[in-house]
């Protein structure tokens, strides 16, 4: 895999993490750099780790992973998106305004779930690289770094819009997460033409 191809693959893999980070940035009063960096480390770390795992498993375990990876991603993203929707629709604007804090609490369980859900496709890339006999260190590193940068950018972009449109943004964020999960599911079931 050439350098340009690798960067394009890394950008493609980072799009789900980017979309989720935009959703997270939408609900922040102002950017919490600590939160954004931890989120980027989770997303970038898992995007780098999954190809390593996939490469290690190689094509030996593809029969076990392939049938369920899309269901896992869909379930996790739909759950988190549904939770965001329920929270946005369940509270009044006044309560939401009072509940805002300058420092966003870091929910490691939620970050772990989101990181796994958005990086499952990277597992397949690792398996593909193993099948091609390619090395994995450089691709995993590039994928992780690009995802880290896209996550930070996503939080910043989301925050630029979220401070003005928090409730609609939270609703949109929940819907986007559910749609990303649905897209992953439909792609793997062969119901989307691309």
Pull the structure tokens for residue 52.
């390593």
Asked if residue 21 belongs to a domain, the reply is yes
Among residues of the chain, what percentage have pLDDT more than 90? 20
Q: pTM to 2 decimals?
A: 0.70
Asked if residue 194 belongs to a domain, the reply is no
Asked if residue 124 belongs to a domain, the reply is yes
Asked if residue 146 belongs to a domain, the reply is yes
Most trustworthy range by pLDDT among 114-118, 122-126, 130-134, 173-177: 114-118
Q: How confident is the model at residue 100 (pLDDT cuts 50, 70, 90)?
A: very low
Q: What domain range includes position 130? A: 3-188
Asked if residue 154 belongs to a domain, the reply is yes
Q: pLDDT (tens digit, 9 = 90+) per residue, 32-87?
A: 889 899 999 999 999 999 999 988 887 576 666 667 767 766 776 677 677 767 87
Q: How confident is the model at residue 94 (pLDDT cuts 50, 70, 90)?
A: very low
- Mean pLDDT check: name the lowest of 91-95, 134-138, 147-151: 91-95
Nearest to 159 by CA among 32, 18, 25, 38: 25
Q: pLDDT (tens digit, 9 = 90+) per residue, 137-169?
A: 999 999 999 999 999 999 998 888 765 665 676
- Number of folded domains in the chain? 1
Asked if residue 35 belongs to a domain, the reply is yes
Per-residue model confidence (pLDDT) at position 178: 81
Nearest to 12 by CA among 163, 159, 139, 121: 121
Asked if residue 181 belongs to a domain, the reply is yes
Asked if residue 193 belongs to a domain, the reply is no
Q: 44 or 13, which is more confident? A: 44
State how far the Cα of 184 lies from the Cα of 171, in Å rounded to an integer.
20
């Amino acid at each position: 895999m050439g350098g340009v191809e690798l960067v394009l693959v890394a950008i493609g893999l980072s799009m789900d993490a980017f979309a989720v980070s935009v959703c997270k940035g939408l609900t922040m009063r102002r950017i919490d750099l600590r939160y954004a960096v931890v989120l980027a480390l989770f997303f970038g770390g898992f995007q780098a780790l999954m190809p390593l795992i996939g490469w290690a498993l190689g094509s030996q375990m593809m029969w076990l992973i392939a049938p369920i990876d899309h269901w896992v991603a869909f379930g996790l993203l739909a759950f988190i998106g549904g939770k965001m929707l329920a929270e946005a629709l369940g509270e009044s604007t006044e309560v939401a305004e009072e509940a805002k804090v300058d420092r966003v609490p870091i929910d490691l369980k939620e970050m772990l779930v989101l990181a796994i859900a958005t990086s499952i496709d990277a597992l397949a890339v690792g398996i593909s690289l193993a099948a091609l006999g390619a090395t994995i260190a450089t691709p995993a590193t590039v994928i992780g770094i690009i995802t880290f940068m896209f996550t930070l950018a996503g939080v910043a972009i989301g925050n630029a819009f979220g401070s003005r449109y928090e409730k609609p943004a939270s609703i949109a964020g929940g819907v986007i997460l559910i749609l990303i999960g649905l897209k992953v599911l439909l792609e793997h079931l062969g119901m989307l033409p691309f």
